[in-house]
Structure 1
């Protein structure tokens, strides 16, 4: 494991995007593991800027770590809404290629686990 020490949040976000950019440039159909919360928001802003600069996310797939149980995905507090508002709406990713767990039933959880078993995550984003 390589540990990168940064002076501040903006530098950390830029360094994290540098790692992601290497993958995105090398593999146009990368599979990203994404996280919610405040930690990755700066990274997501960097991803949005990369799209504005001409990068296309149309072949990228994403899988999120978690979701609240018992709330609709369109609820303002859902992680799906968080991802849509902080990333998905501002890039050209196919929303059919975005996967946020929906765990209101055991069948929902199994379907997500089955979907995950079909892919290999190329890069997993985690927050602190």
Structure 2
């Protein structure tokens, strides 16, 4: 695992965007795994700026980690809406080459199988962007999440719902109780993993994921078992890590 320390959140997010752009330029048919959340907004702003300077998304295919369930894709609180607002509408990506789990699917198990099939058909994910939740989750893989899990319907932890309340007018009770998410095993299948964490609120769980035992109770700790994983941290998120590693 490569750990990159940045002096501040903006530098961390720009470094993440630069690595994504390098992957896009170097891959003949780039397949990106995308994430959501406040940290990712700065990453996507940096990518949009690179697009204005000539970076093309036209060859990219994308798969997002997760989506609330149930929720309509045109609901402004959905991750479909988030991705459109934060990235897709600003770049030259082909809409038909973007995919998120369908939060309105009448049969969620069928949707999860179809999602796995679509990733395989695309040749697998080349680079998967990740954040980390306060429960240690990547995607919505709440503890405990076995490292061989595939895309599935999950129950969200109350702490996660509270963390995500901003999009629901700060009413955590209105955040859906369930979500569709790539499993940890699905994430680990990506050829490269890139996790970004910023802010002091993430320091404890970053320490648990990177320095404490690898465990299904902290799904982000699975990155330590991946042969090509990178974690980019600002100084606050790295604040509890040992500096003599």
| TM-score after normalising by structure 1 | 0.93
RCO higher in structure (CA 8 A, sep ≥6): 1
Match of 1:111 among 106, 109, 114: 114
Aligned positions of 1:27-106 closer than 5 A: 27-103=27-103, 104=105, 105=107, 106=109
Shift of 1:85: 0.4
Do the aligned residues in 1 keep the contact of 2:21 with 2:55 (CA within 8 Å)? no
Shift of 1:117: 2.1
Q: State which drifts further: 113-122 or 77-86.
A: 113-122
Looking at structure 2, the residues matched to 84 and 22 of structure 1 have their Cα atoms a distance apart, in angstroms, of 22
Do the aligned residues in 2 keep the contact of 1:28 with 1:60 (CA within 8 Å)? no
Compared CA separation, residues 28 and 38, structure 1 to 2 (3 A): farther
Do the aligned residues in 2 keep the contact of 1:102 with 1:112 (CA within 8 Å)? no
Unaligned 5+ runs, structure 2: 133-245
* 1:23-81 deviation line (CA, Å, top 9, x unaligned): 12212521000001112111111111111112211110110000011111110111111
Q: Which residue in 2 is equivalent to 1:126?
A: 130
Looking at structure 1, the residues matched to 117 and 13 of structure 2 have their Cα atoms a distance apart, in angstroms, of 31
Work out the number of aligned pairs and report it. 128
Unaligned 5+ runs, structure 1: none
Looking at structure 2, the residues matched to 57 and 102 of structure 1 have their Cα atoms a distance apart, in angstroms, of 23
Looking at structure 2, the residues matched to 17 and 28 of structure 1 have their Cα atoms a distance apart, in angstroms, of 18
Looking at structure 2, the residues matched to 22 and 113 of structure 1 have their Cα atoms a distance apart, in angstroms, of 26
Higher strand share: 2
Shift of 1:91: 0.2
| TM-score after normalising by structure 2 | 0.50
